[in-house]
């Protein structure tokens, strides 16, 4: 004997699989309050700032958030996509998401979306949307090639916080860091070789500039520095370049504590005095161009180098949503979805 469901029982949905590309985040605008909201969320994350809250909170709220939003807002304005009125990071991450969705279109039960650890679209809102759409399995893909607690871990943390409040919680997988993945090394290496070949000069040196990290984080066990140096070593081997042609540096220092060295800005300032007058630079820690690449490196970095006596400077873009970059993301996602598709 069959038994009917109550009249208000929700209809059954065809089970779906969600894929969420996770990136750092961006303010919604370049104005003071938009940037302030973003910076407060970012700099309040204990994964990012490990200083005890009782000490850090007054510094953040009374000093940093009073003055830094104006400076950061000006920097964002230099690279803002005025046509779409969004930061390049959000524009490119959306483009990556749409490109991946097209590549997975043959998998009728797969939905692809993106979320930001800080700002919008929030991780919680995207996971809620996918769960309500019938996604009973979700793959989280932090778009950070090199692992760090300040990036990969906190992106997953935010997702887990949202999952903890779901009554009907989907099964979840997290994609690992992919700095040593053969496809990533190949695609990154080819982008460097092609980028250099397209220049009208031969660089004396190619810098691989990674986002910085306090030295104390590495001393306490964060593998980020290892992953960065290994990325450059593997790419150098793939390219067959002589040792010393690729140089590892670290950018975006913040505060008085000791950070990973050598610093990108200091290196660019010193190189012309050492006879290195022509450089190319890229930022392998970023999957999409953003303020740290377009403003800090391509603009500020160039100004520093040329002012110090450099002659030629070139920035090689991130992989972004290029066909090769999307080949790599698709291959990684399909591998991590094994057994679900």
* Contact of 314 with 204, CB cutoff 8 Å: no
What's the full length of the chain, in residues? 341
100 Cβ contact partners less than 8 Å away, ≥ 6 residues apart: 19, 21, 112, 326, 329, 330, 333
38 Cβ contact partners less than 8 Å away, ≥ 6 residues apart: 25, 26, 27, 28, 118, 119
Residue 107 labelled as part of a binding site: no
Nearest CA to 92 among 235, 291, 252, 282? 291
What 156-165 contacts at long range (C-beta under 8 Å, 24+ apart), as own/partner pairs, is 156/22, 157/47, 158/117, 158/123, 158/124, 159/20, 159/22, 159/115, 159/123, 159/127, 161/124, 162/123, 162/124, 162/127, 162/128, 163/127
User: Which letter does DSSP use for residue 93 in this model?
Assistant: H
User: Per the structure block, which two tokens stand in for 327?
Assistant: 């080949």
User: Which letter does DSSP use for residue 259 in this model?
Assistant: B
CA–CA separation, 295 and 289 (whole Å): 10
Residue 211 labelled as part of a binding site: yes
Residues belonging to the binding site for Fe(2+) are 211, 292
Residues belonging to the binding site are 211, 292
């Amino acid at each position: 004997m069959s038994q009917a469901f109550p009249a208000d029982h929700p209809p059954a949905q065809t089970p779906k699989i969600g894929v969420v590309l996770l990136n750092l985040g961006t303010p919604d605008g370049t104005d003071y309050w938009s940037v302030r909201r973003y910076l407060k969320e970012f700099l309040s994350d204990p994964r990012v700032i490990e200083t005890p809250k009782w000490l850090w909170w007054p510094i953040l709220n009374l000093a940093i958030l009073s003055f830094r939003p104006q400076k950061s807002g000006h920097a964002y304005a230099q690279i803002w996509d005025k046509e779409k009125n969004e930061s390049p990071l959000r524009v490119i991450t959306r483009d990556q998401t749409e490109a991946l969705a097209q590549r997975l279109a043959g998998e009728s039960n797969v939905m692809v979306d993106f979320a930001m650890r800080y700002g919008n679209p929030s991780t919680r809102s995207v996971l809620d949307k996918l769960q309500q759409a019938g996604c009973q399995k979700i793959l989280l893909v932090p778009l950070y090639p090199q692992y760090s607690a300040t990036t990969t871990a906190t992106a997953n943390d935010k997702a887990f916080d949202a999952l903890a409040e779901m009554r009907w919680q989907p099964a979840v997988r997290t994609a690992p860091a992919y700095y040593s993945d053969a496809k990533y090394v190949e695609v990154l290496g080819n982008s460097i070789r092609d980028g250099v070949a397209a220049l009208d000069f031969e660089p004396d040196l190619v810098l691989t500039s990674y986002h910085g990290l306090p030295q104390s984080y590495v001393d306490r066990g964060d593998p980020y520095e290892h992953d960065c140096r290994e990325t450059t070593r593997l790419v150098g081997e793939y390219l067959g370049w002589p040792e010393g042609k690729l140089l590892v540096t670290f950018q975006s220092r913040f505060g008085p504590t000791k950070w990973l060295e050598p610093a990108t800005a200091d290196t660019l300032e010193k190189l012309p005095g050492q006879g290195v007058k022509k450089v190319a630079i890229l930022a392998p820690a970023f999957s999409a161009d953003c303020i740290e690449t377009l403003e800090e490196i391509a603009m500020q970095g160039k100004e520093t180098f040329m002012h110090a006596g450099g002659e030629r400077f070139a920035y090689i873009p991130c992989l972004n949503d290029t066909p090769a970059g999307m080949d790599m993301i698709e291959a990684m996602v399909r591998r991590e979805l094994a057994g679900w598709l």
